[in-house]
Structure 1
């Protein structure tokens, strides 16, 4: 009995070894292993190499697991059945004692293998995959070398079946931005990454999809100078509307001439020199003009290439629709890290509803409401644009649109511009669409 128990314990340990070797390799994070390899850990480099070509490795694992399972059944049946049968012989008939003894022996050996050789080792490997993989890679590679001929035959058969079924033979280790976002979300849930930091990372990846309209200063809010503005008017406008950069036009806003830095104007004011945009040489600088279909990522590229941080946005008719600065783009990325509560474009109210500006970017609306997508995506960039597309007209006060259980109600319109929108949950029975 003692010999059989020792043999069963050895088989359970062997099965646990193969289970841990299999799961730890599959669960090990490639980025973590690369970091360890760069720090000089040779074992991490070997784990990475096996992850690239895991065929022989997993073949040896399966050979070991199945061999141990078969031996465990044989040894377990012979070790426990006679003892259970003898004990039950005092309670039931011999024939029934034999049947019950075999059943109890099967249950006992199966329970031991499930708990000690499978569940516990795999749970351990899931919790510490890299540490387990590093510890077991040496012995496993030794077994792979020992059983290489047998492993080669099984791997060849396996790869042939995978190719016939049209499935990939090798593991795809490509890392996408979805993988990175999933990792940051996991870090946020673990308390390692703060909410604002996670939001900033998400915003960075959205630069490739957000168009300039979502971050620009719109046409009606642009403060600009005309070439013929006199000294007094310029000084008054600087005092009333302080900005770092001012657009300069020839009479009207669509006749763009260039821009002027506030620092240049302040220097002339401090030296008590007259300000004349038409005659002062070098005061008005050439401005970067970009189309309104660019994304924020493309605008950043334009800024870098032109060595500028200010641009005018025009539409296909060469009409000015807004201006954008490098600070506008970075504010979009940093989000709540730099924006105060008063500057938020969408605010959650105590009753669970939201009050949003019409110019709130669609990604911010989707994030606040937990929506994967909105209808007719790509035809608009802001909440006001969404309402226009859904209503097929200029929104008016009290206009409503219902989508995915949310009611979007226009509460304030200023000169055909959607200023404020109330967003609230609706009853499940309320039909979707415009009202």
Structure 2
């Protein structure tokens, strides 16, 4: 009986150890180990090396695990037959299989997958010992592995995709490592370069611009009542922009008593215009702003027409959310109502609405950038108050217009069976 328990105990303990070490080795992310290595954690550096050259540690772990199972099963079977006869061999085999499944597979691998952070040091040291103990088998299996498979260069197959990082961020939030705001900020950074200039710009219908024909007094009155500090100066239309005027530059010139009024040249204080194609990504726009050291651009469509303006403030808001300027009223573009419908500004970017409902309802790669653009394009007619459109599982209803422009929608989530597009 003593030998029976000895065979059983050793087999379960060794196999338990092998399984938990294997689970930690495979569960610990390469990126985490690399970060810990840079902070001077030696065990993480060692475990990272084992992940890169994984054939040796796996050979040692699996070989030792197989030997433990084989010797343990043979020893237990022999002792049972010797002590009780062959009549009980089948029952003992079934019981041993159950014990191996539960105590050497399910439990240790669950522990390793859940607590790998706390077991990095233990795992690195144990693997090192296993490789030493099983060295002859490790050498032979590594040679066979190299012979039968084409081994990649060291670290060549270690890569992390954006989706994997998103999952890691979600896991960190669920585990309390990141709070919801930090998690949202990280995700916004990933989404940032997916946005094009036409997604983030202020549409030309909402742009405040100065006509070069205006008097200094008219310009002064306009600037004093505006919430903005930078303005395009145009000749007749936004399509003919002469330059960019800064509020402070204008008032320095306006209040310069050393110059007669007819000597004050507005064109002389204008900054050069930066033109931004509507299809440029957010990162490219930011790069242009940094290179030019100016942070205000005129967005052009494929025909060279001015369709809006984009600023550094617009880029920052896409990452950080609404950043009201001084004196700006807090009038959100999307308001969720008590009945779970949404009161939506027509010029709301489709990316903002998709983010609000946490679902890409409106395709973000479409040629239109706003909810009203999507509605008008899908309706295929000039909209009017009361027009409705059912798209997928949402109903869009126009409730306010200004001329031919949609000011406000009510967007309502419908029952699942009401799908597709209806007018």
TM-score, normalisation: structure 1: 0.85
* Rounded Cα–Cα distance in structure 2 between residues aligned with 1:140 and 1:20: 11
Q: Give a deviation string over 1:304-353, Cα, whole Å, max 9, x none.
A: 11111111112233322111111111011101577999443222222222
Matching of residues 113-128 of structure 1 within 5 Å: 113-128=100-115
Residue in structure 1 matched with residue 350 of structure 2 by the alignment: 362
Which deviations, in whole Å up to 9, do the C-alpha atoms of 1:50-75 show, x marking residues without a partner? Answer: 11121122122221222211222223
1:241 and 1:375, CA in 2 relative to 1: closer, same or farther beyond 3 A? closer
- Deviation for aligned residue 1:357: 1.8
Measure how far apart 1:257 and its partner are: 0.6
Contact 1:400 1:408 in 2 (8 A): yes
Q: CA RMSD in A?
A: 3.2
Does the Cα contact within 8 Å between 1:196 and 1:335 map onto a contact in 2?
Answer: no
Is structure 2 residue 273 aligned with structure 1 residue 284?
A: no
Counterpart contact for 1:21–1:133, Cα < 8 Å: no
What secondary structure is seen at the aligned counterpart in 1 of 2:269? coil
Q: Determine which of 313, 334, 357 is the counterpart of 2:320.
A: 334
Structure 1 residue 130, shift from structure 2 partner: 3.7
Partner of 2:410: 422
Q: Deviations over 1:350-407 (max 9, x none)?
A: 2222222222222222222332464594322222222233223343333333333222
5+ long unaligned stretches in structure 1? 87-97
- What is residue 284 of structure 2 aligned with on the other side? 298
Q: Whole-Å Cα distance in 2 between the matches of residues 212 and 364 of structure 1?
A: 14
> Is structure 2 residue 335 aligned with structure 1 residue 347?
yes
TM-score scaled by structure 2?
A: 0.88
User: What corresponds to 1:411 in structure 2?
Assistant: 399
Q: Shift in Å at residue 266 of structure 1? A: 3.5
Is this contact kept in 1: 2:25–2:123, CA < 8 A?
Answer: no
Structure 1 contact 230–275 (Cα < 8 Å) conserved: no
Check if 1:137 corresponds to 2:124. Answer: yes
Q: How many angstroms does 1:276 deviate by?
A: 7.2
Unaligned 5+ runs, structure 2: none
Moved more, 142-151 or 399-408: 142-151
Instruction: Check the 8 A contact 1:346/1:356 in 2, yes or no.
Output: yes
Inter-CA distance 427–271: structure 2 relative to 1 (3 Å threshold)? same
Seen in structure 2, the aligned counterparts of structure 1 residues 379 and 355 have a Cα distance that, compared at 3 Å, is: same
When structure 1 is superposed on structure 2, of 383-392 and 227-236 the one drifting more is 383-392
Distance in 2, matches of 1:155 and 1:407, equals 62
Do the aligned partners of residues 23 and 312 (structure 1) sit closer, same or farther apart at CA in structure 2, a change above 3 Å counting?
A: same
1:267-289 CA-partner distances (Å, limit 9, x unpaired): 45566677779725742221212
Equivalent-residue separation in structure 1 for 2:307 and 2:172 (angstroms): 40
The structural deviation recorded for 1:292 is 1.7
Q: Which has the higher mean CA deviation after the structures are superposed, 271-280 or 140-149? A: 271-280
CA pair 419-359 structure 1, distance change in 2 beyond 3 A: same
Match of 1:400?
A: 388
Structure 1 CA distance for aligned equivalents of residues 345 and 421 of structure 2? 21
Check the 8 A contact 1:410/1:421 in 2, yes or no. Answer: yes
Q: 2:191 aligns with which of 194, 200, 206?
A: 206
Map of 1:383-398 to 2, 5 A cutoff?
A: 383-398=371-386
Aligned residue number for residue 89 of structure 1: none
Distance 2:313 2:13 in 1: 61
After TM superposition, list the pairs within 5 Å mapping 1:166-177 onto structure 2.
172-177=157-162
* Cα deviation, residue 299, structure 1: 0.8
Matched, 1:217 2:202: yes
Q: 1:398 to 1:432 in 2, by over 3 A?
A: farther
Structure 1 distance, partners of 2:262, 2:55, is: 76
* CA offsets 1:161-182 (integer angstroms, 9 cap, x no match): 666xx99998832122222222
Partner of 1:23: 23
- Give the alignment partner of residue 190 of structure 1, picking from 175, 182, 186: 175
Residues 365 and 35 from structure 1, CA distance in 2 versus in 1: closer, same or farther, beyond 3 angstroms?
Answer: same
State how far apart, in whole Å, the 1-side matches of 2:58 and 2:193 are.
40
Please say which of residues 200-209 and 268-277 is displaced more in the overlay.
268-277
- Per-residue CA deviation, residues 171-211 of structure 1 (Å, 9 max, x unaligned), is 83212222222222222223332333322222222222211
Q: Name the count of aligned residue pairs.
A: 420
How far off its partner does 1:241 sit?
1.9
Alpha-carbon separation, structure 1, partners of 2:323 and 2:204: 27
